[in-house]
Structure 1
Amino acid sequence: MSVFKRYHPRLQQAIVSRLGWRGLREVQELASQAILDGNNAVVLAPTAGGKTEAAFFPILSQLLTSPETGTQCLYISPIRALLNNQEERLGLYTEMVGMHRFKWHGEAKPKDKQAFLREPCELLMTTPESLEVMLISPSVPARKIFEQLRYVVIDEIHALADCDRGSHLMAVLERLRQLSRCDFQRIGLSATVGNVAEILSWLQGSSGHPGLVITPHRPPSKKQLEVKYLDEVDLANEVGRRAYGKKSLFFTDSRRRAETVSQSLADKNVDIFVHHSSISREERELAEKKVTSGKNVAIVCTSTLELGIDVGELDLIFQAEAPSSVASFLQRMGRTGRREGAIANTTFLTTSSEAMVQAIGLIELAREHWVEDVKLDFSAWHILVHQIMAMCLQSGAVRRSQIWQTLTGASCFKAISEASFHCLLDYLKAEDYLSEESGLLSMGLKAEKTFGRKNFLELYSVFTSPVAYKVLSMGGQLLGSIDWQFADVIELDTCFLLAGKGWIVKRIGHSEKTVWAEKAPQGKAPKWGGFAPMMLSYRLCRKVRDILVSDQEYPYCDAASLKRLFELRQDRYFLANHFAPLQVVDKQMLWWTHAGGRINNTLRYALSHELSCEITSNNYYLKFTGDLLSEKVLKNRLKTMAEPDYWLDQKLISALQHQLPELRLSKYQPCLPKQMQLELVAKEYLDLNQAQTFIERCLKH
């Protein structure tokens, strides 16, 4: 029997008469059963796969069956663009059963907010940061609004779980739990991820409801994939030719790349728009509107359009170079192939060898049905500092026990003991971030100055802007900026691209977060070619190695990419000789690990502690400069590093942490003890467990 029979009669009638539906999709059947039975759930389905209805139809049915006053359902979006995108749809679904929804964010009109506060409606739509605003603001009666909260729906939960904003949201949900009379059900909507069961457990927090993963069957579907190897001029011509008369998205992995690509397409007789986080909201919404209604339009974008923003039926997906994960590739490709008879597609337009092989690796891993795990944080100390201050600001003063009892249920604090929690509070008191009188904690003078009422906007957002290094000419002229991951792997005399020009690195100042460069002479080939991938996974890097040592040809590659792949295989012939071979080049030694960014960083810093030579690393190899290192010496060091107790040595861990670049990854990082600050950077940069496993594999081979 279809779950449709369990829906409230008014909802049944609305689905048939207003929407014209004649049945439910499998994901809607499965999710509705789970939610109506009182489960928490993570619902997996591709973009436009019916996830929104899968969550909201059973919720609306329950709200009709057991009506209450006030806000009973909370919809949380990771980005405002998706919030705006869902406004009309959720407005229709609530209106057709006699309910209302309200969208609360920074740009909502004050009079509309006041009307909502006077009479809260059934569905509230917001973002994590705006939800924090509501809890902290003295003008918002949070208990009145949320005391009847019964459901929380988090859209694109995989995008939040992988970053600080997800940890922040889990803590905020525990604070909401203290305001609500109900143990509200938690529903996450997600694209495909590798560790969905872990995400469900992470979402559960202190909830007493059982949890289910909803994964509908996905029949095999045809995909149209291409990998092309070409130069920048041919790239623009190729896109202009193929995008003419179509609706397309062109993904890039940086704002700078998006801008340069859009400029190169300006004269290709296609309406070109740019969409990334530095573009104004009006410009982004115009781009979304144009591609939804237009016929000869392309948006050059970053990951801002990777999430479930509805821009209508798309014809083509282009990808400049390659994304850093299988998950991103699948999410982007999933924007096409939705209408009857359409085929999901992606064309990789690569201008560097690294990107070309990486694109092949992503496709092959996707064909093996492998997707990365989302990295979850269970000891988010900096988020804990943020939440302690937020609770002090929210209440004026709060007891230690109340903070602990409220926040201890959040998964992001699961690995933090109560004793460690009190040690942190004592440190914050000593540093004047907190004050304690008669057992009540409040904001200290230093916190008031930085995060208090006069500077309250600083406290609403948990994240800080990405770390960037300035690039200056030798005369001191500002040329632009590069990401810290790129700055950490470039070397002196490396040639790189910035603003469409070649530059040679002459000096790197990590403490000043600055790179000094001079113009590259004509004919000097950029070593990085403008493609500097983020830290890649171990599995992807090993797949790249497997591709290079095989003789397989890939039918989705064009002639130029197959030719370049053949040349790379000849150049890297030695990779087949060992699991992770050594190569001597110009008085330098390369250790080709193909182990990924975090493992190679860990090996780099550990070996720097063991050896007296300069070591640099990227996703694929470690480079040793100085006295040539013999294979025997390296093997002996690795045997030592393979010992079970080696990575437990606190002196080693401290040495590794002190070698890391001094990066500010969180605005609350300076509030932490020095050791915790180092641990925060280490979690981003290192992977001790996987490094040890890799060493063991090396020694076996």
Structure 2
Amino acid sequence: MAHTSAPLPRSAPETAADLLDPEVREVARRRGFVELSEAQEQAIPLLLEGRNLILVAPTGTGKTESAMFPVFDRLLGTAGPGFKALYITPLRSLNRDILSRMEWWCRELGLSVGVRHGDTPQNDRRKQSLNPPDLLITTPETLQALFMGKRLREHLKNVRYVVVDEIHELADSKRGAQLAVALERLAAYAGEFQRIGLSATVGNPDEIGRYLCGTRPFSLAEVPVASHLDISVRFAGEDFATQTRAVGRCLDAPGSTLVFVNTRVTAEALGHELFPRGDVEVHHGSLSRDVRVDAEERFRTGDIRTLIATSSMELGIDIGHIEHVVQFGSPRQVSRLVQRVGRAGHRLDAVSRGTVLATGFDDLLESFVIARRAKANECERIVPPAGAADVLANQVAAIAVEYGEIEVSRVREIVEASSVFAGCGPLLDAVCRQMAEHRLIRLDGSRIIRTGRARRYLIENLSMIHDERKMEVFDIVSRRTVGTLDESFVVGWMHTGAVFITKGQLWQVLEMEDGRISVEPATRANGEVPSWEGEQIPVPFAVAREVGALRRTRTFDRYSSVPGAIAYAERSLARMDQGNYPVPSDRLVTLENTDEGVVCNVCGGHKANEALARALSVLLSARYGSTVGIEVGAYRFLLRLPENVRALEVQETIAGLEPAHLPGVLKLALKRTALFKWKLVQVAKKFGAIDADADYERFSIHRLIGLFDDTVIADEAYRELFSNYMDVDAAQEILSRVQDGRIAVTTGGLSPLGSEGLSSSRDMIPPPLIDQAVIGTLMRRLEKEDVVLFCMHCRKWKSRTVIERVPDRPQCPLCNARLIAALKPWDEQFIPAMRKKNKSEEERAIEVRFLRNANIVLSSGRKAVTALAAKGVGPEAASRILATLTEGDAFYREILKAERNYVRTHRFW
């Protein structure tokens, strides 16, 4: 396809501003635009020529004005009704900075502007419907809704300009695929309009152009950021206190500093440590809007010099001049580092200064590689999802509602004009058949006819963002709910025994049942600990491979001139050399035996390693008849294996895994998992096959597979899992390299590198949580537990009380016997049966249990009552606890162990 990758030379030596209408130039002058930025100089001439354009430029270079100056210029001479320009932003809460700027420009130029999104009041919507503004600022989802109103559809016929802001945020998602089709539906009403995409630096701007424009020609204006980046990587230390001091030293430099972290937990922890400085605020998505706005204003006005932020500060919020950006921990991705460091300087002639503070060996080498790639402009590619069947179903339903009835060939023409559904003929036919089965449409020969159900479906499914329920996290020690987790996080990461972070604290999963996750405080972590507060950022295959190459070549001086960072990297590898451990690299996979199984050191990145780990787990499980657990990181994964399966068996399995068979093996691996079930339900909801508010736990996996196996719905669930959660292509490349000898595989014992990967975690800032605190919580809880004392001698006396009021040696006040059973409150219902002469078989069994209970209390007094009050502890478990003869904290540890065991196993009793 023809497109221009640079602006065409102009015949006259004028600046871009000279090409604009004098009224636009005058308003720009009043706004303070003395001279235009490089982005504006490149983009404005191309846009005034009427070209479709992708503008790729760093934050703070005036991308919005680059697009809008020419649009304002053209709108000044355009009369008539209807919307004339759409400004589409991916942010669900519209960027107020862009909003206020647009309102100012339109007011000064005598143009009308409106905003429409999910929270727009009904009276404002009515006004827009009766008197449409020249420029409408909206979201991809609200654009979908515009097509549903007859009058609004008429207003869309006059659209001549569409600007998609932050297009890189949309292009690789189903929201973006939905928008791509919506633009083709708009073209069916309005005819061809000018398409303008504003993007941060990406590795494949041409593909972003094809995503926005389909088969139409487009131009590309690109402002390179690499030449203006000054990035250094330092080692911050291995413990949090040392790391905090390293951040503090960065903040001592003159000027304002923006500190980026990867999770909200880290933002809060750093903020807590640095607040005493008096010039630090925290900014992240969990804080209320008012708090965030206040922090932004105080930073802009200079009241504070430092803002600690997550990705909440990435999307172009104007907070004024930033002298320096600090990235705490590896940013995981090149584009993320470029966007973040690009916030510094804020002028094209200024250098953006950034410092990455690495927090461990993997973190350091990864930061070296990402910094090098950033300076070389080697950002990640954005890959739009091709052929997402549920998006296609959503858009077919939308088109049916729009037109009432329409030829399949016309629908094909509309959707195939978008790059994400080019050549989708067979898929469209399969999707339509599936939709007809669920009465979303009716098929009549070659025509699609809307049904009454379709409009209701669309109202519930305007967005391709899946609705997620929250799952309760219940602490078994305090017997309290400590928070909630998103369903996707639970399904993707949680399993019995998993350790994760929430509320700044480490927790271990004991049980997952009925929408509740039972946990206990964890004092150590295995593997990379996911944090629900910050979405897990996967390290790409290319970055992980280069980290492997750097481990092999040890050419650290090519990546850094910071002596401390280089020394730490060399010291870490020297430990491997001293123990004669081979260093896993881009050309070597090492399989290391541990007590829990095998650590597979593979420099593959998160998604490739996820694919390999899942495939190996299903093959080993089938071969040895035992469940295999997995924990996955960017540079290693742990296979939890039975004792008779170790590294040699894993090596044999890898050698026998044909790359071409990997997708088939992964389908087997996923088919019975909670992750596949969850994704299947999500896709089925978007097909209208399951109600939008249905709870996925209501469906058994067998029933779901029975309903949807070998359908387009199951195919889409696999496609999405393979593309979003795994990198199957990269995993196949690793297997191919193993097979042809380019990657060697060795086996051995646990190395310092493998061990470090299991015992450390990035983004983990555990509070000073010690065993004593857990024991203290348990003791306080048990003291307040209700207990029913019942005399098994006279069987007349009973007393309901709490543990703290029970005497050391309980005694019946009626018969003076000490044969006292300590019962849980719900056992009280059986006491009348204990007084009967003729008991049923079941009642005699209960009597035996009560007598056993009473004999334990007779022997051990109040200590036995305490043990028996614990969750899931009966006479047998209490006997085992008391037989340890432990006292104090050790006694309560035994109780905790028994409670934990009950939570893990009671469903099998």
TM-score, scaled relative to structure 1: 0.85
**Distance change in 2, residues 1:7/1:256 (3 Å):** same
Per the TM alignment, residue 596 of structure 1 is displaced from its structure 2 partner at its CA by 1.5
Structure 1 residues 395-414: aligned runs within 5 Å: 400-414=408-422
Which sits farther off after the overlay, 308-317 or 497-506?
497-506
Q: Secondary structure at the match of 2:363?
A: helix
Partner Cα distance (2:271, 2:467) in 1: 24
Residue of 160, 170, 185 corresponding to 1:160:
170
Paired residues of 1:171 and 1:387 also in contact (CA < 8 A): yes
CA deviations 1:302-340 (Å, max 9, x no partner) are: 222111221211233233323231101110111111259
Paired residues of 1:548 and 1:569 also in contact (CA < 8 A): no
Partner Cα distance (1:400, 1:497) in 2: 50
Residue of 468, 473, 491 corresponding to 2:475:
473
1:416 and 2:413 matched: no
Partner Cα distance (1:113, 1:491) in 2: 46
Partner Cα distance (2:319, 2:550) in 1: 36
1:499 and 2:503 matched: yes
Q: Secondary structure at the match of 2:461?
A: helix
1:30 and 2:35 matched: no
**Distance change in 2, residues 1:577/1:324 (3 Å):** closer
Paired residues of 2:584 and 2:602 also in contact (CA < 8 A): no
1:662 and 2:666 matched: no
Paired residues of 2:584 and 2:603 also in contact (CA < 8 A): no
Paired residues of 1:11 and 1:60 also in contact (CA < 8 A): no
Counterpart of 1:592 in structure 2: which amino acid? Answer: N
Per the TM alignment, residue 486 of structure 1 is displaced from its structure 2 partner at its CA by 8.4
Counterpart of 1:697 in structure 2: which amino acid? Answer: R
**Distance change in 2, residues 1:392/1:500 (3 Å):** same
Which sits farther off after the overlay, 229-238 or 686-695?
229-238
Residue of 533, 536, 541 corresponding to 1:538:
541
Partner Cα distance (2:442, 2:261) in 1: 47
Counterpart of 2:177 in structure 1: which amino acid? Answer: S
Find the counterpart in structure 2 of residue 48 from structure 1: 60
Counterpart of 2:51 in structure 1: which amino acid? Answer: N
Per the TM alignment, residue 568 of structure 1 is displaced from its structure 2 partner at its CA by 5.2
Paired residues of 1:433 and 1:671 also in contact (CA < 8 A): no
**Distance change in 2, residues 1:142/1:558 (3 Å):** farther
Partner Cα distance (1:367, 1:296) in 2: 30
1:604 and 2:617 matched: no
Per the TM alignment, residue 63 of structure 1 is displaced from its structure 2 partner at its CA by 3.2
Residue of 169, 184, 189 corresponding to 2:198:
189
Structure 1: gaps (5+ residues):
none
1:148 and 2:165 matched: no
**Distance change in 2, residues 1:655/1:525 (3 Å):** closer
Find the counterpart in structure 1 of residue 722 from structure 2: 682
Structure 1 residues 175-254: aligned runs within 5 Å: 175-180=185-190, 182-205=191-214, 208=216, 210-216=217-223, 220-221=227-228, 223-230=230-237, 231-239=239-247, 242-243=250-251, 247-254=256-263
Partner Cα distance (1:189, 1:470) in 2: 40
Counterpart of 2:714 in structure 1: which amino acid? Answer: K
Q: Secondary structure at the match of 2:227?
A: coil
**Distance change in 2, residues 1:370/1:13 (3 Å):** closer
Which sits farther off after the overlay, 228-237 or 116-125?
228-237
Per the TM alignment, residue 525 of structure 1 is displaced from its structure 2 partner at its CA by 6.0
Per the TM alignment, residue 156 of structure 1 is displaced from its structure 2 partner at its CA by 1.0
CA deviations 1:179-229 (Å, max 9, x no partner) are: 21x3011111111111111111111126x4x21111245582351534342
Per the TM alignment, residue 478 of structure 1 is displaced from its structure 2 partner at its CA by 3.4
Per the TM alignment, residue 594 of structure 1 is displaced from its structure 2 partner at its CA by 0.7
Q: Secondary structure at the match of 1:79?
A: coil
Find the counterpart in structure 1 of residue 363 from structure 2: 355
**Distance change in 2, residues 1:692/1:662 (3 Å):** closer
Partner Cα distance (1:562, 1:490) in 2: 37
Structure 1 residues 644-663: aligned runs within 5 Å: 646=661, 652=665, 654-658=667-671, 661-662=675-676
Paired residues of 2:258 and 2:309 also in contact (CA < 8 A): yes
CA deviations 1:111-142 (Å, max 9, x no partner) are: 44433333323222111122223222x3x622
CA deviations 1:575-605 (Å, max 9, x no partner) are: 2687132232225333322112222222233
Which sits farther off after the overlay, 479-488 or 314-323?
479-488
Structure 1 residues 444-455: aligned runs within 5 Å: 445=453, 451=457
Per the TM alignment, residue 177 of structure 1 is displaced from its structure 2 partner at its CA by 1.4
Paired residues of 2:229 and 2:341 also in contact (CA < 8 A): no
Paired residues of 1:246 and 1:295 also in contact (CA < 8 A): no
Paired residues of 1:171 and 1:410 also in contact (CA < 8 A): yes
Partner Cα distance (1:149, 1:405) in 2: 21
Counterpart of 1:364 in structure 2: which amino acid? Answer: R
Which sits farther off after the overlay, 529-538 or 187-196?
529-538
**Distance change in 2, residues 1:395/1:472 (3 Å):** farther
**Distance change in 2, residues 1:551/1:654 (3 Å):** closer
Q: Secondary structure at the match of 1:575?
A: coil
Find the counterpart in structure 2 of residue 258 from structure 1: 267
Partner Cα distance (2:655, 2:34) in 1: 64
Counterpart of 1:431 in structure 2: which amino acid? Answer: H
Residue of 591, 598, 614 corresponding to 1:589:
598
Find the counterpart in structure 2 of residue 335 from structure 1: 343
**Distance change in 2, residues 1:344/1:466 (3 Å):** farther
Find the counterpart in structure 2 of residue 700 from structure 1: 741
1:272 and 2:281 matched: yes
Paired residues of 2:509 and 2:520 also in contact (CA < 8 A): yes
1:567 and 2:572 matched: yes
**Distance change in 2, residues 1:53/1:370 (3 Å):** same
Per the TM alignment, residue 37 of structure 1 is displaced from its structure 2 partner at its CA by 2.6
Indicate the RMSD between aligned Cα atoms, in angstroms.
3.6
**Distance change in 2, residues 1:361/1:200 (3 Å):** same
**Distance change in 2, residues 1:95/1:558 (3 Å):** farther
Equivalenced residue count is 680
Paired residues of 2:271 and 2:280 also in contact (CA < 8 A): no
Counterpart of 2:550 in structure 1: which amino acid? Answer: I
Per the TM alignment, residue 503 of structure 1 is displaced from its structure 2 partner at its CA by 3.2
Q: Secondary structure at the match of 1:313?
A: coil
Find the counterpart in structure 2 of residue 621 from structure 1: 636
Structure 2: gaps (5+ residues):
1-12, 688-712, 743-909
From the CA coordinates, give the structure whose radius of gyration is larger. 2
Structure 1 residues 269-418: aligned runs within 5 Å: 269-276=278-285, 278-339=286-347, 343-394=351-402, 400-414=408-422, 416-417=424-425
**Distance change in 2, residues 1:149/1:116 (3 Å):** same
**Distance change in 2, residues 1:141/1:444 (3 Å):** closer
Counterpart of 2:183 in structure 1: which amino acid? Answer: L
Counterpart of 1:47 in structure 2: which amino acid? Answer: T
TM-score, scaled relative to structure 2: 0.67
Structure 1 residues 90-169: aligned runs within 5 Å: 90-136=102-148, 138=149, 141-169=151-179
Per the TM alignment, residue 352 of structure 1 is displaced from its structure 2 partner at its CA by 4.7
Partner Cα distance (1:122, 1:106) in 2: 20
Partner Cα distance (2:727, 2:268) in 1: 34
Paired residues of 1:462 and 1:667 also in contact (CA < 8 A): no
Partner Cα distance (1:335, 1:160) in 2: 21
Partner Cα distance (1:197, 1:513) in 2: 45
Partner Cα distance (1:358, 1:577) in 2: 13
Paired residues of 1:489 and 1:618 also in contact (CA < 8 A): no
Partner Cα distance (2:585, 2:185) in 1: 56
**Distance change in 2, residues 1:700/1:339 (3 Å):** same
Per the TM alignment, residue 270 of structure 1 is displaced from its structure 2 partner at its CA by 2.4
Paired residues of 1:274 and 1:300 also in contact (CA < 8 A): yes
Counterpart of 1:4 in structure 2: which amino acid? Answer: A
Per the TM alignment, residue 291 of structure 1 is displaced from its structure 2 partner at its CA by 2.2
